[in-house]
């Protein structure tokens, strides 16, 4: 099916289904669909249209009906027949308006707004996970210009060619064995985590890992510690699943475990970002790690370790994962390929305690979570052939450079209005605001000006909101770009009274 043969996908004015009882004959109805598609720009000059035989089969009408419609379109100059090469929309129709296909699929004002990086509800964008297009300073993205496309294309082509009939069916619910093995080997080597491949469950992102974990281990109504300030999608998802989030404050050593105990010792789980607290980037100190593990063991609670960017540490070697200290099997380790490869893969994984593997297998089967086979195969080979480790090392050096360049430009141009604190790791900068400006009003101005930023105050629940703006440096390729962005922000700062 395509847009023109499936009425449900048709453009702005929905087309009625083909009907033998309608006032117009069938050939005329087919003709009208194509004519409208061309006029509305869904079909551009030069686009190929299906063969009469294929379309007749798809629509369930006689081939002669479609041929008649095509000959009418041909006679009126909408299409051109090119013999063996098929039929195309007439290349000379330059005056017809071309509608971008993505916009034509759902032309709602909200979609168009978010595509520009704006938010229709809150001026400062509220909590927007990601705009649909890539904007300068956009958080959460790795260096997209440094993605190893050639290697990826080579591995992709190789796997496509080698695919056998069984590989075209459903992948196993927990993920392909080769990928689970490659992840387990990598975690042991790089993050100090000892696990069996069967403990690794491949998912389609952090939220799918959290969904799997909560479906397997928690029931609605239970309470979960979350960091305050902390990553909003985690809170949103847990709340959506009927769990109660208990916001636990963080300080320079990460989650204040004693405050968690005082707030709600009986909570059933905690979701934490120990490597670089999201968004403040400090690491969870060793005494806090021990206190958290002790609480989980004593209360039989679960800890989800969200290790989204643990590999990116610039001041020293990456810290071992919290999971590596977990003697009692209370920690679930959530990793993602979004930061170390690209978010477009939509691939992540969850390492579960050995005792819980049968339970997770059951839930993974029921929930049908997972990732496409071909993507899993490519990632597995990428890891097994050593590209993954090399890529991370290369990115660590690149980010160290880009971060230094961005800090120098931002500090030089934005001081004294803003203070930039270089963190020991992570993929974003925190621009702390001096004076009376609110981070939300600056973010609103930045979004309107085409720059992406997030207001730190939006990440806080109970802790007094700090006024700071979060921006990413990973896609700032040159000092000139960094300076241009800094000057742009300076121009957007509200005038001091
Ligand atoms: C704190 C945190 N955890 C996890 C992720 C990764 O989520 P996903 O795997 O859905 O891309 C992100 C992405 O920005 C993040 O900021």
Distance 248 CA to ligand 1 centre (A): 20
Report the residue among 307, 312, 335, 336 best suited for mutation to probe ligand 1: largest number of ligand atoms under 8 A from its CB. Answer: 336
Closest CA to 205 of 361, 337, 377: 337
Confidence of residue 105 (pLDDT cuts 50, 70, 90): very low
Confidence of residue 247 (pLDDT cuts 50, 70, 90): very high
Phi, psi (rounded to 5 degrees) for 223: -105, 145
CB 178 within 8 A of CB 377: yes
Q: Is the four-CA dihedral 448, 449, 450, 452 of positive or negative sign?
A: negative
* pLDDT over threshold 50, residue 100: no
- CA–centroid distance, 473 to ligand 1, in Å, is 16
456 and 486 housed in the same domain: yes
Q: Would you state the pLDDT for residue 36?
A: 86
Assign 125 a pLDDT band (cuts: 50, 70, 90).
Answer: low
| SS3 assignment, position 392 | helix
pLDDT at position 116 is 33
What is the DSSP secondary-structure string of 136-184? TT-TT---GGGS-HHHHHHHHHHHHHH--GGGGSPPPTT--HHHHHHHH
Q: Which of 65, 57, 64, 53 is nearest to 25 (CA)?
A: 65
The model's confidence at residue 127, banded by pLDDT at 50, 70 and 90, is low
94 occurs within a structural domain: no
Ligand 1 atom closest to residue 343's alpha carbon, by position in its atom list? 11
DSSP state of 190: I
Decide which of 275 and 95 is more confident.
Answer: 275
Residue 459 lies in a domain: yes
Query: Is residue 450 pLDDT above 50, yes or no?
Result: yes
| Number of folded domains that form the chain | 3
* Boundary-marking domain end, from 349, 369, 385: 385
The residue ranking higher by pLDDT, 49 or 354, is 354
CA of 18 to the centre of ligand 1 (A): 46
What local confidence, expressed as pLDDT, does residue 466 receive?
80
The answer to whether 449 touches 440, Cβ cutoff 8 Å, is: no
> Would the CB of 274 count as within 6 Å of ligand 1?
no
Q: What pLDDT, on a 0 to 100 scale, did the predictor assign at position 55?
A: 87
Range in 15-29, 300-314, 347-361 the model is least confident about: 15-29
The rounded Å distance from CA 86 to ligand 1 centre is 46
Mean pLDDT confidence for 441-460: 93
* pLDDT at residue 297 tops 60: yes
- DSSP classification of residue 224: E
What domain range is 63 assigned to? Answer: 7-89
> Which one has a higher pLDDT value, 15 or 472?
472
Answer with the one of 327, 357, 385 that is the final residue of a domain. Answer: 385
Is the pLDDT confidence value at 121 over 50? no
Distance CA 99, CA 168 (A): 34
The proportion of the chain whose per-residue pLDDT surpasses 90, expressed as a percent, equals 67
Which of 202, 234, 278 to mutate to test ligand 1, by most ligand atoms within 8 A of the CB atom?
A: 278
**Euclidean distance between CA atoms 415 and 49, whole angstroms:** 59
Whether the pLDDT of residue 399 is over 60: the answer is yes
DSSP 419-433: EEE--SBSSEEEEEE
What is the pLDDT, as a whole number, of residue 314? 86
What stretches of 302-427 adopt beta strand conformation (E)?
A: 302-306, 331-336, 348-351, 418-421
Cα(346)–Cα(214) distance, integer angstroms: 20
Could you tell me if residue 232 is inside a domain? yes
* Nearest CA residue ID for atom 3, ligand 1: 308
Query: Do residues 223 and 313 both lie within one domain?
Result: yes
Listed residue (393, 367, 354, 273) closest to 321, CA to CA: 273
Among the candidates 366, 385, 404, a domain finishes at: 385
The answer to whether 428 touches 473, Cβ cutoff 8 Å, is: yes
In a shared domain, residues 348 and 287: yes
CATH label of the domain that carries residue 193: 3.40.640.10
User: Distance between CA 453 and CA 443 in Å, rounded?
Assistant: 6
**300 shares its domain with 435:** no
Partner residues linked to 144 by β-bridges: none
Mean pLDDT of 245-253: 97
Residues 373 and 402 in one domain: no
For residue 261, what is the DSSP state? H
What predicted TM-score, i.e. pTM, was given to this entire model?
Answer: 0.83
Same-domain pairing of 261 and 350: yes
Least trusted range by pLDDT, from 24-28, 181-185, 286-290, 368-372: 368-372
- 341 phi/psi in degrees, rounded to 5: -125, -100
Tokens at residue 135, please? 């904007």
- Greater pLDDT, 225 or 93: 225
Residues 427 and 310 in one domain: no
For residues 357 and 482, state if they share a domain.
no
Residues present in the chain in total: 497
Q: Which residue has the higher pLDDT, 136 or 102?
A: 136
Q: Using CA of residue 289, residue 294, residue 299, residue 305, what is the dihedral sign?
A: positive
124 & 191 share domain: no
| 420 in the same domain as 304 | no
82 and 134 housed in the same domain: no
Asked whether residue 2 is assigned to any structural domain, the reply reads no
Which whole number is the average pLDDT over 83-92? 86
What is the arithmetic mean of pLDDT over 74-85?
Answer: 86
Span from the CA of 134 to the centroid of ligand 1 (angstroms): 16
231 lines ligand 1 (CB under 6 A): yes
Helix orientation angle between 232-240 and 206-217, rounded to the nearest 10 degrees: 40
Percent of the chain with pLDDT over 70: 88
Mean pLDDT, residues 443-457 taken together: 93
pLDDT surpasses 80 at 386: yes
């Amino acid at each position: 099916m395509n847009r023109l043969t499936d009425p449900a996908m048709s453009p702005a004015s929905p087309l009625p289904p083909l009907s033998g009882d309608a006032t117009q004959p069938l050939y005329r109805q087919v003709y009208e669909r194509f004519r409208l598609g061309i006029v509305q720009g869904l079909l551009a000059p030069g686009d190929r249209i299906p063969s009469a035989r294929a379309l007749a089969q798809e629509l369930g009408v006689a081939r002669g009906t479609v041929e008649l419609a095509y000959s009418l379109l041909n006679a009126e100059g909408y299409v051109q027949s090119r013999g063996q090469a098929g039929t195309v929309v007439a290349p000379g129709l330059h005056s017809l308006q071309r509608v971008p296909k993505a916009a034509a699929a759902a032309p709602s004002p909200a979609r168009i707004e978010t595509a520009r990086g704006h938010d229709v509800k809150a001026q400062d964008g509220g909590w927007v996970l990601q705009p649909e297009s890539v904007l300068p300073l956009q958080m959460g993205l790795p260096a997209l210009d440094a993605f190893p496309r050639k290697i990826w294309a080579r591995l992709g082509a190789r796997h496509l060619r080698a695919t056998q009939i069984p590989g075209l069916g459903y992948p196993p619910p927990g993920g392909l064995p080769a990928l689970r093995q490659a992840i387990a080997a990598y975690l042991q080597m790089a993050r100090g985590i000892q696990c069996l491949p069967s403990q690794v469950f491949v998912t389609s992102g952090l939220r799918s890992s959290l969904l799997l974990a909560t479906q397997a281990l928690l029931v609605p109504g239970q309470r979960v510690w979350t960091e305050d300030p902390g990553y909003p999608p985690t809170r949103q998802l847990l709340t959506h699943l009927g769990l109660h989030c208990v916001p636990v404050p963080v300080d320079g050593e990460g989650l204040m475990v004693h405050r968690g105990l005082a707030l709600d010792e009986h909570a059933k789980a905690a979701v934490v970002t120990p490597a670089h607290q999201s968004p403040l980037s400090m690491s969870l100190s060793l005494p806090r790690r021990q206190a958290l593990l002790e609480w989980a063991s004593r209360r039989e609670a679960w800890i989800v370790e969200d290790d989204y960017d643990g590999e990116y540490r610039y001041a020293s070697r990456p810290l071992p994962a919290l999971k590596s200290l977990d003697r009692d099997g209370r920690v679930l380790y959530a990793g993602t390929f979004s930061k170390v490869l690209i978010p477009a893969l939509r691939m992540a994984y969850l390492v579960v305690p050995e005792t819980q593997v049968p339970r997770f297998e059951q839930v993974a089967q029921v929930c049908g979570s997972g990732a496409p086979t071909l993507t899993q195969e490519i990632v597995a080979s990428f890891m097994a052939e050593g590209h993954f480790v090399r890529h991370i090392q290369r990115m660590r050096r690149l980010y160290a450079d880009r971060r230094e360049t961005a800090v120098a430009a931002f500090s030089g141009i934005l001081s004294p209005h803003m203070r930039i604190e270089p963190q020991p790791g992570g993929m974003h900068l925190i621009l702390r605001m001096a004076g009376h400006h609110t981070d939300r009003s600056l973010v609103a101005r930045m979004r309107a000006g085409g720059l992406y930023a997030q207001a730190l105050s939006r990440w806080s629940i109970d802790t007094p909101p700090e006024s700071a703006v979060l921006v990413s440096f990973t896609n700032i390729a040159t000092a000139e770009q960094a300076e241009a962005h800094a000057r742009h922000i300076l121009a957007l700062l509200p005038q001091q009274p």
